[in-house]
Chains A and B, each alone.
Chain A
Amino acid sequence: MGGAFWTILSIILVLLWIGVMYLWFMIRHFRREPLVDPKNGLRLLTVLGSGGHTTEMLDLLKHFNDEAYSNRTYVVADTDNHSERKALESEQARHSGTFVVEKIPRSREVGQSYLTSVFTTAYASLHAFIIVSRIRPSIVLVNGPGTCVPVAISAALLDMLRVANTRIVYVESICRVERLSLTAAILYYSGLADDVIVQWPQLKDTYPRVRTLDEMS
């Protein structure tokens, strides 16, 4: 009897604690408090991936100042040599700061069974968590490859635990005209992303909290 009581009590306390951490996270991020001293440079972590994601992300990153974002991490799937090469090419145009390419295993290969993909996803997520906790990025910038989900969730968790101060920004692909991608929707509805930026303004009718380019000066 006593054992059951303490078990239930501790489960309730843990759930409460998680709830409080989540709420505190939401409040802090909603207030958009100034993050860090930009003089020291920001740690940027991004996820690249095939299917146009890499091209779109590097197109955006071209406009990022290499002094302000002085520590850059590119996360790629370990089988994605193309994205790694593109990341290296884009870094050649930069003049300051440091960068690193981190590889994580693919969570699911095309045609892989769902049962084994549970394990490979867990394994990939663990990798993502280790990388994010080592880097403790100031910003996680993602645009949709599957691997970006565990990366973004790891970053949010570490921020909730106050191990890191991280902003999470999702930039939706120009291909998404009517609906958000699954990844974007996860980050939008969970509130984990500070901003979900979309390229087609009518998406705001369906998802009022997204940011459109028209709203940016």
Chain B
Amino acid sequence: MSSTCFVTVGSTRFDSLTNEILSDAALTALKKLGVTKVSIQLGSGEFEAKRFEEIFGSLCDHDSGSAVFAGLKIDFYRYKPSIAEDLADAKFVIGHAGAGTVIECLRLKKPLIVVVNELLMDNHQAELAAKLADLNHVLYCVPSDLTQTMLDSRLFTLQPYALPEMAKVARHIDRLMGVPA
């Protein structure tokens, strides 16, 4: 059983999330969950300078890094061509509301906490996360509630979600077009 928590923000930045995960409260919660390693896909964001130095020391390179802090292995990078492996290796995933990440986690049946960025108004992707949270397929919170949400006992009892079968749509279109079955 993996003991990695993977944090992903997608193609832009989500500093309130990536800073929150490095807070003392969040790191304590992660250890309580049996996590031994936190891996963060940072995007174009920056960590809060003081905390960054506490954890990673005077690391010059701000594009990737690794440290052991408070009994946890913590590493970060900005981007990878594919995060599929990180998702597959994780015990659970903390991610932004991007549909790609959400759907990939559902496909892999990974426990997922979707953190919504309150600063992005009218974010229609949050609609999907909210619905999936209603149906108990993911957990859903704002950055400041992350610690509390990680300790929510439902995280590891979420219901698997049967993704819509695109093959059905294709057969429907075949019939519309007169393609023989």
Contacts and interface: CB of A to CB of B under 8 A. Distances in A.
25 contacts: A34-B178, A35-B177, A38-B179, A38-B180, A42-B177, A52-B98, A52-B100, A56-B99, A63-B166, A63-B170, A65-B174, A68-B179, A139-B173, A141-B173, A167-B176, A169-B176, A171-B169, A176-B127, A177-B127, A177-B130, A177-B131, A194-B176, A213-B168, A216-B168, A216-B169
A60 interface: yes
Nearest to A57: B166
A178 B163 CA distance: 18
B128 interface: yes
A70 to B, nearest CB: 11
Interface in A25-45: 32, 34-36, 38, 42
Nearest to B166: A60
Contacts, number: 82
Interface of A: 32, 34-36, 38, 42, 52, 55-56, 59-60, 62-65, 68-69, 138-139, 141, 167, 169, 171, 173-178, 181, 194-195, 197, 199-200, 211, 213, 216-217
Interface of B: 98-100, 103, 124-125, 127-128, 130-131, 163-174, 176-180
A36 B176 CA distance: 11
B100 A55 contact: yes
B93 to A, nearest CB: 18
Q: Is the interface of A mostly helix, strand, loop or mixed?
A: loop
Nearest to A32: B176
A171 B131 CA distance: 19
Given A181-B124, A211-B172, 4 more contacts: A36-B178, A167-B176, A171-B169, A213-B164
B99 A175 contact: yes
Contact of B177 (A59, A138, A173, A216): A138
Quick one: which of A63, A138, A197, A200 has the most chain B CB within 10 A?
A63
B179 A42 contact: yes
Contacts of B163: 174
Contacts of B172: 195, 197, 211, 216
Nearest to B167: A63
A108 to B, nearest CB: 17
Contacts of A60: 166, 169-170
A60 B99 CA distance: 16
**6 interchain residue pairs of minimum CB distance:** A63-B170, A177-B131, A68-B179, A216-B172, A63-B167, A175-B128
Contacts of A141: 173
A64 B127 contact: no
Contacts of A171: 169
A32 B176 CA distance: 7
Contacts of A167: 176-177
Contacts of A211: 172
A200 B169 contact: no
Contacts of B176: 32, 167, 169, 194-195
Contacts of B124: 175-176, 181
Contact of B103 (A34, A68, A174, A216): A174
A42 B172 CA distance: 15
A169 B173 contact: yes
A10 B169 CA distance: 45
B179 A65 contact: yes
A45 B171 CA distance: 17
